[in-house]
Homo-oligomer: A and B are copies of this chain.
Amino acid sequence: MTKLNDYVKNYDIRGDMTLNELTSQMMDAGFQATNIGRAIETIKAMKEEKEITVILSFTANMMATGLRSIFAKMVKEKFVDVVITTGGSIDHDIILSHDKYGLGDFNMNDVELHKKGLNRLGNTLIPTDRYVLLEEKIKPIFEDVYKKNKTTNPSDLINEIGKTLKDDNSVLKWASKNDIPIFCPGITDSSIGLQMFFYKQDHPDFVVDVTGDMKKLANIVLLSKKTGGIILGGGVSKHHAIGVNVVRGGLDYAIYVTTAEQWDGSLSGARTNEAVSWGKIQEKARPVTVHGDATIVFPLIMSRFF
């Protein structure tokens, strides 16, 4: 019989076994379970580097779920050095530092929800009053920032917001405490962005300069001995994390967790190998793409490091 290097092994599962045992078994179980095992190995290798800048990137929808506390813990424990996300994440972190989101269903009647003032995000529900709260919280911060400096960068603004938050599950709070920059190149595409519009009506010289952050992020990457990426979801936050690494010949380590497909030529669906052609990920990196919803996949991966 043909001998092979590795073999598929059967699961042996019990409810009282630990996550460590499960994820060890996953490595040999095949298909995406194996990719969870391999993603863990890549993150281990990343973290064993003496000097490495680890970038965590994720999309805003994830911040509206139970994953928020996992991101917060990663920032609190300095597991990562840089965060890249979209504007909605800032909205959610502020609101969730003061109140909660509801849990519904993907198939609810959206016309009825709209009448009730419930905004549906997948199967989570955000009552409209949460955005009133956001407005209340963000205005005085704009005031403070504006008084200090009429021109700010997204990451500086986010840092100021983080200083005002007290929730232990806040990503922004811990980022501010630990001087971990949060980059948000598309920050105006959010409720905060709408608040900026209102604020700018009265303060036309209030300026949020995105080139400042580009410089800050590029310099961090250029000065890094090694870089690693933990990249959840697609879009601008994914591309920014890999794209900026072009300046140094690519990420040394990378994992993707995604639900997108590559056949439409989208950046969101592009596999790690496509990034190799661009020099966004290095050839010798140990990239892994795990296909699945981050709310299931990411707790499994991170459980090995907590």
Contacts and interface: CB of A to CB of B under 8 A. Distances in A.
A274 interface: yes
Contact of A66 (B8, B19, B124, B263): B8
Given A19-B13, A260-B260, A34 B123 contact: yes
Interface residues of A, number: 141
A14 B19 contact: yes
A10 B189 contact: no
B186 A263 contact: no
A121 B67 CA distance: 31
B293 A127 contact: no
A123 B273 contact: no
B123 A31 contact: yes
A17 interface: yes
Given A189-B239, A200-B212, A264-B294, A103 B7 contact: yes
Nearest to A30: B65
Contacts of A265: 30-31, 61-62, 64-65, 121-124, 293, 295
Interface in A4-53: 4-20, 22-23, 25-26, 28-36
A11 B274 contact: no
Contacts of A13: 19, 70, 299, 302-303, 306
Interface of A: 1-2, 4-20, 22-23, 25-26, 28-36, 59-62, 64-70, 86, 88, 99-104, 106-108, 110-111, 113-114, 117-125, 127-130, 133, 151, 169, 185-190, 193-194, 196-197, 199-201, 206-215, 218, 233-236, 239-240, 243-244, 246-247, 259-270, 273-274, 276-279, 283, 291-297, 299-300, 302-306
9 smallest beta-carbon distances between A and B, as pairs: A122-B265, A29-B66, A186-B186, A4-B102, A30-B65, A10-B69, A2-B127, A33-B295, A235-B235
